[in-house]
């Protein structure tokens, strides 16, 4: 580990942490209704939304599910009919049903797992109207669920946790859209393409240069922790990520909103120490793993862009799998066994070390509930979190949210390993081949979207099993979280006493980080031992 390596890591983390408080405070003001511009009110009137009506958790959950289902169906229809639609200068054909349903589920669930090459498969119309729009809406959905959980913790004797439609509009109009416009302009200034031109043939060659409205989609894919890429090579492609500055701001945007949401959480609870404690727990896990990845990849330039080098490739790999992003600027399949193990393990922790916008933080709050429950068992006292008693219902919901993603990953991996169709796309055999399959289902089962890229997953079996994994991992976590929010909102605050565990201290930060790591290790250590661990030993 050289001084230059440490300097690059320190610069990245310092800039990120400096932006947490201002952006987090602004987001809190947005969700508390401090901004109420005319276009927002017009939109409510147009859609017949009663912005003043707060919903119980069941109504909120139904609105969340129906809206996401509508988005899924729209994307599927676009993919199946893109040959009939405009803005398709390359005359791309409609996608096969099993590929289309996988992509539709992927983008509706904020996973953005891609088993296709964008420049060879999708029209500009599909990219803009389908994928880019859904990047905004799926991200805003996760942010809305997190805000609802925060209200549940802050409310007293109430059945309501907010209005889903209002939270969606505010997340999109006041946060995601302005940030995306700024990032798009910055990326275009660095050479990221944004046009509707047909592909350009290269003189005296059979090669063509792909074109398209890339910058606008890249901005929201990074800020919304959506991931994926306009082009198959993703953020390693020079038209998506041409310069060191574009690389830095894209890496920064991977964790920007998830990190700032921690401060938003504290502000809305009127106790910023709670938000800082959750952010500290995330950093306690992230920083050592980041340092280990940079050290493991030192000198390994295979699969990496020369203009970014090993350090920025390692930082991106860790950030994209700590967040629920999935975009890459290097080939993870070419990382060393330890360098590939860490991104894999970060996803297997449940996408809670920053995680997706909203979804990562509500996953971490679920772990906080589990941590105070464990602490309560140790001292023989009813556990409390932020003054709310944690009882049987909350623990049942937290258990569902914690256990469903590992179940999806391990069952999906097992099916792919033992079936000829499931393993037909393997590039490698042995331990590394198993790692490729495990990585694919870990990515889908935790709504990440990145890939080792040595596993050809575009076949009916993987598309359908992966699609089911993405659906379960998204909605069987979000719905239990909303149920917890509704249950906690109805409770009154319990006065703190001598046996109350403070949830803003270094002791709680350590307990929370340990709970996250232990649960991840218990669920996945046997599988990891068959893949990257044995490969490292070999």
Instruction: Give the list of residues 6+ apart from residue 238 with CB closer than 8 angstroms, or none.
Output: 191
Specify the pLDDT at position 355: 93
Specify the pLDDT at position 92: 94
Report the chain's mean pLDDT, rounded to a whole number: 93
Q: Which of 146, 174, 139 is nearest to 253 (CA)?
A: 139
What is the signed CA dihedral for 409, 450, 70, 461, rounded to 10 degrees?
A: -50
Q: Where are the alpha helices (DSSP H) in 33-190?
A: 38-46, 57-81, 97-108, 118-121, 124-125, 133-154, 164-170, 177-189
* Contact indicator for 357, 139 with CB cutoff of 8 Å: yes
Q: Which of 330, 131, 102, 139 is nearest to 213 (CA)?
A: 131
Sorted by where each begins, the domain ranges of the chain are: 358-537
Q: How far apart are the C-alpha atoms of 513 and 532, rounded to whole Å?
A: 23
Residue written as token pair 């995330």:
282
Paired sense of beta strands 208-209 and 384-385, if any:
unpaired
Give me Rg for the CA atoms of the chain.
Answer: 22
Specify the pLDDT at position 251: 96
Q: Where are the alpha helices (DSSP H) in 353-446?
A: 359-379, 392-418, 430-445
- Which residue spans within 216-330 are E strands per DSSP? none
Per-residue pLDDT tens digits for 297-351? 998 999 899 989 999 999 999 999 999 898 999 999 999 999 999 999 999 998 8
Reading the chain (538 residues) residue by residue, the pLDDT tens digits are 789 999 999 999 999 999 999 999 999 999 999 988 888 889 899 889 999 899 999 999 999 999 999 999 999 999 999 999 999 999 999 999 999 999 999 999 999 998 888 888 999 999 999 999 999 999 999 999 999 999 999 999 899 999 999 999 999 999 999 999 999 999 999 999 999 999 999 887 888 999 999 999 999 999 999 988 899 888 999 999 999 999 999 999 999 999 999 999 999 999 999 999 999 999 999 999 999 999 999 989 998 999 899 999 999 999 999 998 989 999 999 999 999 999 999 999 988 999 999 999 999 999 999 999 998 888 777 789 999 999 999 999 999 999 999 999 999 999 999 999 988 888 888 888 999 999 999 999 999 988 887 788 888 999 999 999 999 999 999 999 999 999 999 999 888 777 778 899 999 999 999 999 998 888 999 999 999 999 889 8
* Contact indicator for 236, 332 with CB cutoff of 8 Å: no
Q: How far apart are the C-alpha atoms of 55 and 160, rounded to whole Å?
A: 5
């Amino acid at each position: 580990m050289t001084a230059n390596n440490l300097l690059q890591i320190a610069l990245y983390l310092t800039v990120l942490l400096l932006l947490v408080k201002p952006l987090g405070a602004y987001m809190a003001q947005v969700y508390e209704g401090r901004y109420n511009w005319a276009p927002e009110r017009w939109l409510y009137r147009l859609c017949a939304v009663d912005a003043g009506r707060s919903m119980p958790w069941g109504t909120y959950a139904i609105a969340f599910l129906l809206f996401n289902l509508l988005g899924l169906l729209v994307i599927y229809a676009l993919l199946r009919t893109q040959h009939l639609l405009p803005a398709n200068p390359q005359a791309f054909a409609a996608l096969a049903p099993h590929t289309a349903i996988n992509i539709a589920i992927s983008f509706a669930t904020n996973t953005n797992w891609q088993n296709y090459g964008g420049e060879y498969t999708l029209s500009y119309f599909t990219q803009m109207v389908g994928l880019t729009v859904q990047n905004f809406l799926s991200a805003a959905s996760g942010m809305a669920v997190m805000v609802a959980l925060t209200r549940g913790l802050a409310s007293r004797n109430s059945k309501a946790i907010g209005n889903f439609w209002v939270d969606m509009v505010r997340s999109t109009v006041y946060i995601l859209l302005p940030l995306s416009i700024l990032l798009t302009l910055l990326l275009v200034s660095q050479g990221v393409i944004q046009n509707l031109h047909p592909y350009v043939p290269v003189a005296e060659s059979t090669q063509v240069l792909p074109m398209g409205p890339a910058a606008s989609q890249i901005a929201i894919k990074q800020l919304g922790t959506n991931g994926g890429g306009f082009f198959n090579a993703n953020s390693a492609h020079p038209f998506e990520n041409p310069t060191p500055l574009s690389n830095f701001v894209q890496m920064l945007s991977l964790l920007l909103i998830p990190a700032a949401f921690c401060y938003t959480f504290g502000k809305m609870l009127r106790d910023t120490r709670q938000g800082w404690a959750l952010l500290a727990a995330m950093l306690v896990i992230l920083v050592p793993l980041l340092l280990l990845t940079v050290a493991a990849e030192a000198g390994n330039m295979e699969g990496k862009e020369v203009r970014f080098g090993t350090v920025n490739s390692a930082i991106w790999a860790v950030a994209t799998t700590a967040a629920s992003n999935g975009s890459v600027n290097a080939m993870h399949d070419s990382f060393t066994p330890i360098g590939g193990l860490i991104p894999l393990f970060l996803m297997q922790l449940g996408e809670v070390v920053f995680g997706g916008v909203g979804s990562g933080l509500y996953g971490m709050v679920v772990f906080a509930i589990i941590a105070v429950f464990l602490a309560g068992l140790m001292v023989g006292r009813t556990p409390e979190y932020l003054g709310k008693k944690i009882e049987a219902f909350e623990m049942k919901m937290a258990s569902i949210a914690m256990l469903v993603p590992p179940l999806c990953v391990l069952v999906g991996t097992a099916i792919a390993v033992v079936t000829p169709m499931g393993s037909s796309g393997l590039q490698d055999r042995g331990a590394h081949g198993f790692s490729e399959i495990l990585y694919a289902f870990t990515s889908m089962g935790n709504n990440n979207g990145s890939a080792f890229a040595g596993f050809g997953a575009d076949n009916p079996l993987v598309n359908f099993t992966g699609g089911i994994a993405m659906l379960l991992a998204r909605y069987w976590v979000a719905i239990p979280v909303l149920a917890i929010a509704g249950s906690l909102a109805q409770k009154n605050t319990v006065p703190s006493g001598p046996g109350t565990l403070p949830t803003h201290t270094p002791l709680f930060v350590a307990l929370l980080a340990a709970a996250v790591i232990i649960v991840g290790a218990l669920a996945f250590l046997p599988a990891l031992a068959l893949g990257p661990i044995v490969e490292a030993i070999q």
